Structure 1
Amino acid sequence: MDKSSIAVEVVYALADKQKLLQMTVPAGTTVREAALRSGLDAHFPGLDLSSAPLGIFGKAVPKPEERVLEEGERVEIYRPLIADPKEVRKQRAARAAKSKGETPEADA
């Protein structure tokens, strides 16, 4: 491979379906550009690659339109959260306290 292109991976997953693409992109390609070039939206109806949150190796990229990829990096396309994890924990604690006959403590 010449220095004008790099190898990267782009991945997206649902609970029942995943897709990982190995791609060669021009050096200087941004995280967002790689996601758009992947064409994964054709495999996952409803996926909007122009606005989906993106990350690299499990770490969110705050400005994917500006972050330039390096050789071997894996672009991850994230799904929106179905439920707020903080709220889910709070509800679980309330149910556990109720089953023990206690009252849950208020957040400080």
Structure 2
Amino acid sequence: MVPADDCVWVEVVYSPGPRQVSRTVLSLPAGATVAQAVQASALVEGVLPQGWHVGVWGRKAPPDTVVRHGDRVEIYRALKVDPKEARRVRYRAHGEKLPKGIHRSPKTA
């Protein structure tokens, strides 16, 4: 769909939790910003909470960035756990890595 000269179509996406995605497609006036798109989407009430960020197509963007037709505005939650630390915890829980070609025998109960 081709927009009129005075409006742009954008998609706003937000994940309130793991494996949950909320999305909405909006028609905004030309010159609208990322912050206006987030506010118009009503996916997040009021101002973004502390530690949250926004981006366009996977790249962090300031809220005053002007959106273009077809942009995907993404709302990022604050991280609860450092990704590197989470990987270390998973590694320790799984056990030590075996050399290539050696496999752990299945445990029998």
Could you tell me the TM-score, scaled by structure 1's length? 0.70
Aligned partner (choices 65, 68, 71) of residue 69 of structure 2: 71
Residue 30 of structure 1 is matched in structure 2 by 33
Letter paired with 1:54: V
Deviations 1:53-99 (Å, cap 9, x if unpaired)? 001111211x222x100000010111111101122334455x37xx5
Go from structure 1 to structure 2 and tell me whether the alpha carbon gap of 1:91 and 1:19 turns closer, same or farther (over 3 Å shift).
closer
Deviations 1:11-52 (Å, cap 9, x if unpaired)? 11122532110100011111111101111125xxxx853763
Go from structure 1 to structure 2 and tell me whether the alpha carbon gap of 1:74 and 1:4 turns closer, same or farther (over 3 Å shift).
same
Listed as ranges, the gaps of 5+ residues in structure 1 are 101-108
Q: Distance in 2 between matches of 1:80 and 1:55?
A: 13
Could you tell me the TM-score, scaled by structure 2's length? 0.69
Letter paired with 2:32: T
Residue 56 of structure 2 is matched in structure 1 by 56
Q: State whether residues 12 and 77 of structure 1, in contact with CA within 8 Å, keep that contact through their aligned partners in structure 2.
A: yes
Q: Distance in 1 between matches of 2:48 and 2:20?
A: 17
CA RMSD, Structure 1 to Structure 2 (Å) = 2.5
* Corresponding residue SS for 2:44: helix
Q: Distance in 1 between matches of 2:73 and 2:34?
A: 7
Larger helix percent: 1
Residue 10 of structure 1 is matched in structure 2 by 12
